[in-house]
Amino acid sequence: MLKVTVADAGSETEVKIEGDLAGSSVTELGDVWERLRQTAKSRKVVIDLSETTSIDACGKRMLMIMASQGAQLTARGVYTEYLIKGLLEKAHAGCRS
Residue 74, pLDDT > 80, answer yes
Q: How confident is the model at residue 97 (pLDDT cuts 50, 70, 90)?
A: very low
User: Are the C-beta atoms of 74 and 49 separated by less than 8 Å?
Assistant: yes
Helices (H), the chain: 24-39, 57-68, 78-93
Residue 22, pLDDT > 90, answer yes
Please state the domain count of the chain.
1
61: nearest Cα among 23, 16, 4? 23
Percent residues over pLDDT 70 in the chain: 93
Q: Whole domain around residue 30: which residue ranges? A: 2-93
Rounded to two decimals, the pTM is 0.82
Taking residues 74-94, report their average pLDDT. 77
The domain that holds 68 is classified in CATH as 3.30.750.24
